[in-house]
């Protein structure tokens, strides 16, 4: 029985392809795996291999035609069989111009295709492939002035590259003939297989919570950049008096600053219960911590009331227990706001998903040395970006912006955090 060749999908966002050239003509034999045609998308020209062995009985699409993916483009069968396209191509042929129901056996003289006007559509627009149009637009070329060498004068990628002066080959050094390169060869290695890895219970739980959060919470995002020179200097001075294992981290300063700031923004230290917003009395800041198999949120309880050194020590001990698999319920329950910091991985900025039932989360990036222009003078400065993700059911952009501005007063004037 004859087989139908369809326009393949050659990319995630491909909707149609242009048949640039038939490599095999009607009546010629083709083997599975041999190149049957060249197809052009908006990104590249690709050789399409035949998925069948037989004789090319009919080409359903002329060269230079754009065809939706999945549409029939050719029929491959044996040389002497009679072919009924209505049976083997239905219902996909609905998208293809009508063809004769019965195809004569190979050997019959194929009818010549109607010639299109030389490189122009009926409207007078230059006929070109999508990729050629994109390249021409990028180069500022007028396609009407480009000579097309494709079917019926169609302008191809090579025509555009030639018109804009793209070199086809580089001469060898010294002006002599081009040096011939040895043919490329590839020796297949051992067969590789897909590996099915079960998700851990922790990863499944994270997936469920984050999916619910993104589906049910209307997130919005606001980013602010902080001056970090003062904080870095104060941290260095404080750590000079502490044992290395007891040193204060940048995140310790951020968590304490957030806790003090949340006193003034109760909607961000809250949760939704039914039709009401419950503003929490305690400020318990969650700290996102990477552990084997996933992520845990360690809770810094009453972070607005505790001294910075005590807060940092308790958080450090809880993180150690979590990574040793000895976490306590109090270590991970009851957070009212979360801080997620990827600065230690040199991440400049990112956005985080709110941790239900909380209403906001702060994503903190790395401290970077940047060029800063102030009063007409360029100097070196230290900056850090933080992005607040908030729930639009309880707050809005203005309040989120004010929160980040208030946070700057603590982060950029860190001496008070040590008191």
Domain annotation for the chain: domains and CATH numbers: 3-103 (2.40.50.100), 201-418 (3.30.559.10)
> What confidence score (pLDDT) does residue 112 get?
46
Catalytic residue, chosen from 147, 219, 224, 392, is 392
Q: Is 119 helix (H, G, I), strand (E, B) or coil?
A: coil
- Helix (H, G, I), strand (E, B), or coil: what is residue 148? coil
Residue 172: asked if its preceding bond is cis (omega within 30°), the reply is: no
CB 158 within 8 A of CB 134: no
- Residue ranges of the chain whose pLDDT lies below 70: 10-14, 42-45, 86-126, 130, 151-152, 166-179
Provide the pLDDT for residue 111. 47
Pairing between strand 337-341 and 83-84?
unpaired
Q: What is the pLDDT of residue 327?
A: 84
Predicted pLDDT of residue 33: 86
Residue 161 pLDDT: 80
Q: Give the pLDDT score at 110.
A: 46
The residues, ordered by sequence, that sit 6+ positions from 78 with a Cβ below 8 Å of its Cβ are 2, 54, 55
Distance linking the first and last C-alpha atoms of the chain: 86
**392 noted as active-site residue:** yes
The DSSP secondary-structure symbol of 311 reads: H
- For the record, the structure tokens of 298 come out as 């360690």
State residue 24's pLDDT score: 92
Q: Three-state SS for 196?
A: coil
pLDDT at 174: 52
What pLDDT was estimated at residue 93? 45
Q: What pLDDT does 193 receive?
A: 92
């Amino acid at each position: 029985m004859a087989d139908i060749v369809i326009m393949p999908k050659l990319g995630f966002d491909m909707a149609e392809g242009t048949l640039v050239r038939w490599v095999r003509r009607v009546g010629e034999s083709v083997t599975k795996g041999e190149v049957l045609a060249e197809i052009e998308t908006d990104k590249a020209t690709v050789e399409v291999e035949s998925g069948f062995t037989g004789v090319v009985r009919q080409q359903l699409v002329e060269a230079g035609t754009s065809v939706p993916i999945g549409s029939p483009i050719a029929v491959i069968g044996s040389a002497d069989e009679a072919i009924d396209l209505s049976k083997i191509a239905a219902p996909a042929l609905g998208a293809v111009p009508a063809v004769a129901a019965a195809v004569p056996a190979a050997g019959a003289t194929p009818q010549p295709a109607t010639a299109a006007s030389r490189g122009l559509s009926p409207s007078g627009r230059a006929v070109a492939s999508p990729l050629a149009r994109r390249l021409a637009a990028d180069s500022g070329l007028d396609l009407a002035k480009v000579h097309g060498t494709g079917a019926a004068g169609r302008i191809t990628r090579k025509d555009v590259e030639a018109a804009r002066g793209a070199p086809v080959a580089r001469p060898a050094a010294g002006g002599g003939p081009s040096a011939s390169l040895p043919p490329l060869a590839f020796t297949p290695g051992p067969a590789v297989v897909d590996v099915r890895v079960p998700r851990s219970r922790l990863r499944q739980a994270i997936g469920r919570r984050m999916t619910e959060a993104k589906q049910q919470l209307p997130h919005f995002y606001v980013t602010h950049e902080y001056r970090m020179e003062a904080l870095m200097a104060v941290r260095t001075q404080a750590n000079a008096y502490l044992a290395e294992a007891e040193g204060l981290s940048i995140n310790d300063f951020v968590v304490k600053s957030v806790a003090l700031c949340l006193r003034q923004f109760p909607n961000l230290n809250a949760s939704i219960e039914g039709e009401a917003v419950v503003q929490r009395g305690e400020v318990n800041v969650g700290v996102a911590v990477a552990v084997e198999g996933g992520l845990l949120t360690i809770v810094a309880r009453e972070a607005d009331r505790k001294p910075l050194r005590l807060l940092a020590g308790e958080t450090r001990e809880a993180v150690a227990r979590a990574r040793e698999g000895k976490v306590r319920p109090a270590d991970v329950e009851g957070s009212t706001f979360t801080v997620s910091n990827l600065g230690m991985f040199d991440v400049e900025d990112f956005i985080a998903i709110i941790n239900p039932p909380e209403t906001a989360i702060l994503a903190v990036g790395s401290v970077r040395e940047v060029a800063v222009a102030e009063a007409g003078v360029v100097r070196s400065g230290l900056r850090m970006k933080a992005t607040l993700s908030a729930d639009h059911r309880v707050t809005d952009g203005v309040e989120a912006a004010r929160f980040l501005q208030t946070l700057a007063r603590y982060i950029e004037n860190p001496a008070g955090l040590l008191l």
